[in-house]
């Protein structure tokens, strides 16, 4: 098969289509059906605690700590793997590996139970590490497959593909769950929905894998010396950042605001399940899924409008404005009580969620110096993002565990957006 030329429509669409394949994980597992399923496991418990690892964890704090641990693993393994991928020239194989680990982890969630909590958390870990591990290599393809003037648009298109595909599967999953009359049958349908996510992810990714280039083939083989190449490359990138003030300051800002954005996105449904006054269990299930659908549908519009705004006002100014909205949402969330409050917050989160993710990725890509070593730079970007998530999730979990309220934890996150805004103002124009 002949390799497609950089910038070709088919290659750009094949790259963006991986978002269609893998975004079902973030929507069904990370954001909607799994959090509802996980919370339902504690329906007969007054205090909602889980004995694990020698401690009594608040249910939401346990899943937050496990999520933070997974991101810590990703942040340490991705430089190793990206270093090997760069040296050997087979980033596509690594992307495939993480895709399949994640897909099988989702299928494994069918057997999730409190009686087998360690095996259950292992499947949850596999899904999470598979999703984020594959993104390291997916993101690093962007400068390889698109010219600079195409990157904002195709990055936004990828997120839009992801939102449309994931909403489509979520609607199918929603029909499966709500077609049942009793709680036990609904739980069983949720288990089936985890299987559909794994199959969707693995099967639809094949189109992207077929057209994406293997990488810059070198013919090198992996040796012990190569294994730590990734960390050496990160150090090289760190040294080069000292000479690139704009990229260095942008990364500092991204590290701080991304910490809060990702934390909110990962805990939003757990927050809605625990802190909002729903009339009954059915209204809660339907309400949480509707709120997630609102987020996804508004996010498509948000990604497109943010892309247009960045073209008119510039990336940094647009990011500052979006961060102001996020900061306001932290205050609003603290006072939310009714389902209507939650729906309004969901619409606002959707609008700024798609925009900030697509724009943050393409801004970084634009600020890169001329280099063929894009994987190392994107590995650095991903490591910064993951370590930020670890810090954000751990802070959130500690506040949740010790104060007993997720409201206090989410209010605290406004500080990260405020610091992010200050740091964005310090990014030089050239």
Distance of CA 10 to the CA centre of its chain: 25
Q: What is the pLDDT of residues 283-300, one digit of tens each?
A: 888 888 888 778 877 877
Exposure class string for 99-121: b at 16+ Cβ within 10 A, else e: bbbbbbbbbbbeebeeeebeebb
Residue 19: pLDDT band with limits 50, 70, 90: very high
In-domain check, residue 2 = no
In-domain check, residue 350 = yes
In-domain check, residue 226 = no
Which residues form the domain of 153?
9-214+233-425
In-domain check, residue 58 = yes
Q: Report helix, strand or coil for 348.
A: helix
Domain count, the chain: 1
Q: What is the pLDDT of residues 236-287, one digit of tens each?
A: 888 877 777 888 888 889 889 988 888 888 888 888 888 888 888 778 888 8
Q: What's the mean pLDDT in 89-97?
A: 84
Q: Report helix, strand or coil for 157.
A: helix
CATH of the domain at 32: 1.20.1250.20
In-domain check, residue 108 = yes
In-domain check, residue 4 = no
Contact 369, 356 (CB under 8 A): no
pLDDT at residue number 106: 97
In-domain check, residue 1 = no
In-domain check, residue 3 = no
**Percent of the chain scored above 90 by pLDDT?**
21
Distance CA 299, CA 156 (A): 10
Q: Dihedral of the CA atoms 135, 375, 14, 254 (nearest 10)?
A: 50
CA Rg value for the chain: 21
Exposure class string for 397-427: b at 16+ Cβ within 10 A, else e: bebbbeeeebbebbbbbbebbbbbbebbeeb
Q: Dihedral of the CA atoms 165, 289, 261, 119 (nearest 10)?
A: -90
């Amino acid at each position: 098969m002949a390799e497609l030329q950089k910038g070709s429509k088919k290659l750009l669409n094949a790259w963006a289509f991986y978002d269609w394949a893998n975004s079902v994980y973030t929507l069904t597992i990370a954001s909607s059906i799994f959090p509802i399923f996980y919370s339902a496991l504690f329906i007969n418990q007054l205090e909602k605690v889980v004995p694990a690892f020698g401690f009594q964890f608040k249910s939401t704090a346990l899943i937050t700590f496990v999520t933070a641990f997974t991101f810590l693993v990703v942040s340490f393994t991705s430089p190793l793997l990206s270093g090997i991928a760069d040296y050997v020239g087979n980033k596509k194989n690594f992307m495939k590996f993480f895709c399949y680990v994640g897909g099988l982890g989702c299928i494994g969630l069918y057997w999730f139970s409190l009686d087998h909590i360690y095996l259950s958390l292992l499947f949850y870990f596999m899904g999470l590490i598979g999703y984020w591990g594959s993104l390291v290599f997916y993101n690093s393809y962007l400068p390889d497959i698109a010219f600079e003037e195409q990157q904002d648009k195709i990055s936004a298109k990828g997120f839009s593909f992801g939102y449309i595909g994931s909403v489509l599967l979520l609607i199918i999953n929603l029909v499966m769950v709500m077609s049942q009359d009793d709680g036990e049958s609904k739980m069983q349908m949720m288990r089936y929905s985890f299987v559909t996510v794994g199959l969707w992810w693995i099967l639809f990714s094949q189109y992207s894998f077929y057209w994406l280039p293997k990488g810059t083939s070198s013919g090198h083989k992996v040796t012990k010396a190569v294994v730590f190449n990734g960390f050496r490359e990160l150090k090289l990138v760190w040294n080069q950042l000292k000479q690139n003030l704009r990229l260095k300051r942008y990364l500092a800002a991204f590290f701080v605001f991304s910490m809060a954005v990702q934390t909110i996105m990962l805990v939003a449904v757990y927050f809605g399940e625990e802190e909002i006054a729903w009339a009954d269990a059915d209204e809660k299930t339907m309400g949480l899924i509707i709120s997630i659908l609102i987020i996804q549908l508004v996010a498509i519009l948000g990604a497109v409008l943010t892309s247009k705004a960045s073209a008119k006002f510039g990336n940094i100014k647009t990011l500052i404005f979006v961060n102001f909205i996020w900061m306001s949402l932290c205050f609003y969330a603290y006072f939310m009580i009714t389902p209507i409050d939650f729906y309004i917050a969901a619409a606002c989160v959707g609008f700024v969620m798609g925009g900030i993710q697509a724009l943050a990725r393409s801004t970084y890509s634009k600020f890169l110096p001329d280099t063929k070593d894009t994987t190392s730079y994107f590995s650095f970007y991903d490591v910064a993002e993951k370590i930020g998530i670890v810090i954000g999730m751990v802070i959130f979990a500690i506040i949740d565990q010790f104060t007993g309220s997720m409201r206090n934890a989410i209010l605290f996150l406004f500080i990260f957006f405020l610091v992010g805004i200050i740091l964005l103002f310090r990014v030089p124009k050239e």
